[in-house]
Structure 1
Amino acid sequence: MQPKTALILGASGLTGQHLLDLLLNDPLYVQITIYVRKPVHISHPRLVQQIVDFEQLDSSVDATDVFCCLGTTIKKAGSQDAFKRVDLIYPQKIAALQLAAGSQKFLVISAVGADANSSIFYSRTKGQLEKALTLLRYPCLCIFRPSFIMGDRAERRVGEKIGIFIAQLISPLLIGPLKKYKPVSALALAKSMQDSAHHSLNGTHIISSDKIKSFE
């Protein structure tokens, strides 16, 4: 394979941290750029940290592969509008900037049940992002639709923890079409993204939880 460059959005988050570690140890990536609001305490000769204001961002970087791990909660964001900016507006804007700059692959974390026409705000927002990214016509677009993402988060998400607990209890019963609802680890999700970056061909690819789980 040819040497590649990467841009990671959300590198300080649960999945983003795992992904950054994987790519820094991946010899195919000669440079990894991360957009952060404040510096992360990692030093590596192939790592470039860019402190950015996502509201003002209007430039691009050298990146053959763009990994989007941006995501928040309405509680943390403070409102539905603020949530939408993080989970829809910023990824869409950066995807367009990077496509114009020559990026070949865009790999994004969406969610199971994403549907632009859903009556559920969260699912509708994720669906709107998928639709917007599809319309950009990236040479290769990989959309990851995990169910609950397991791992040690910095912030408390009580509702999510309850959901994960229930999902883990009933996981053995999730077979056939229900396999897409199986919870997955953040590390497995990051590994799945890395693998897709190396092996996915041109076109749009949907990676569901059951496929992500195979990396655990």
Structure 2
Amino acid sequence: MKILLLGATGLVGKNVLAQALAHSAITGVVAPTRQQLAPHPKLINPVSDRLGSLLGVTQGVDGVVCALGTTIGKAGSKEAFREVDYVLPLAFARSAHEYEVETFVLVSASVASVGSAVFYPRIKGEIERDIELVGFRSLTIVRPSLIGGERDEPRFSEGAALRLMSVLAPILPKKFHVNPAPAIAAAVLSAVTTAEPGRHFRYAESLV
């Protein structure tokens, strides 16, 4: 099986990439990035500053994993955030569907809500809604809570929240527990390799 991985340099994406390259059922990983990745015999790594110019890499893959995501602070504006979290995922989804790819896995967020008055959860809700409309035979939406793991860049407020949630874990419902990036990656790979028909959700409480 050959998969396309979007967002391979992010926290979840890095874990998906490592697990996919070690997975016996996965023969190849196409991972377009802005910066070159470490070489691997199973890895195809198209590099471009404009990921939107690489839509053609969807041809010939069996499934797509989208772990693209940023923050407004890192992106620099709401418009730039929307480009990464909405425009690019939808463009790759539509391209993949045109090339008859039947399986798509989207890493979203537990707060996703198309009707939210808050920008971040609304964009997450909109991308879930619009990728569902693309028409994949198998669509899995993974909705983690706060994601645990080592990031390349520090996020002070997120780090504080992670520490607090870890302390309170014994008394918090599972849906509020920290979701380790390797556990999310394992759920993602299970979804893309199983490719169960229909729409499926993996919620935070199952990603601990």
Q: TM-score normalised to the size of structure 1?
A: 0.91
Q: In the alignment, does 2:10 pair up with 1:13? A: yes
Tell me, what secondary structure is at the counterpart of 1:19?
Answer: helix
Matches within 5 A, 1:31-50: 31-40=28-37, 42-50=38-46
What's the counterpart of residue 187 of structure 1? Answer: 182
Residue of 62, 67, 70 corresponding to 2:68:
70
What's the counterpart of residue 133 of structure 1? Answer: 131
Residue of 199, 202, 205 corresponding to 1:204:
199
Deviation at 1:181, TM superposition (A): 2.1
| Residues 64 and 192 in structure 2, CA contact (< 8 A), matched pair in contact too | no
Identity %: 31
What's the counterpart of residue 106 of structure 1? Answer: 104
Distance (Å, rounded) in 1 between the aligned partners of 2:184 and 2:75: 23
| Residues 112 and 181 in structure 1, CA contact (< 8 A), matched pair in contact too | no
Deviation at 1:169, TM superposition (A): 2.1
Tell me, what secondary structure is at the counterpart of 1:51?
Answer: coil
| Residues 167 and 182 in structure 1, CA contact (< 8 A), matched pair in contact too | yes
Q: Which runs of 5 or more residues in structure 2 are unaligned?
A: none
Greater CA drift, 197-206 or 55-64:
55-64
Q: In the alignment, does 2:174 pair up with 1:165? A: no
Tell me, what secondary structure is at the counterpart of 2:31?
Answer: strand
Deviation at 1:103, TM superposition (A): 1.2
Residue of 9, 20, 24 corresponding to 1:23:
20
Deviation at 1:170, TM superposition (A): 2.0
What's the counterpart of residue 83 of structure 1? Answer: 81
Greater CA drift, 64-73 or 50-59:
50-59
CA deviation string 1:147-191 (max 9, x = no partner): 00011101010111111112222222223xxx2222111111101
Deviation at 1:196, TM superposition (A): 1.6
CA deviation string 1:101-157 (max 9, x = no partner): 121211111001200110111100100000001111110111010000011101010
What's the counterpart of residue 156 of structure 1? Answer: 154
Distance (Å, rounded) in 2 between the aligned partners of 1:150 and 1:162: 12
Distance (Å, rounded) in 2 between the aligned partners of 1:62 and 1:27: 19
CA-atom RMSD, angstroms? 1.2
CA shift in 2, pair 1:22/1:145, >3 Å: same
Tell me, what secondary structure is at the counterpart of 1:127?
Answer: helix
Q: TM-score normalised to the size of structure 2?
A: 0.95
Runs of 4+ in 1 over 6 A off after TM superposition: none
How many residues get paired?
A: 206
Greater CA drift, 139-148 or 46-55:
46-55
CA shift in 2, pair 1:28/1:127, >3 Å: same
CA shift in 2, pair 1:68/1:58, >3 Å: closer
CA deviation string 1:27-58 (max 9, x = no partner): 21121110111211x22222111113124344
Amino acid corresponding to residue 51 of structure 2 in structure 1: F
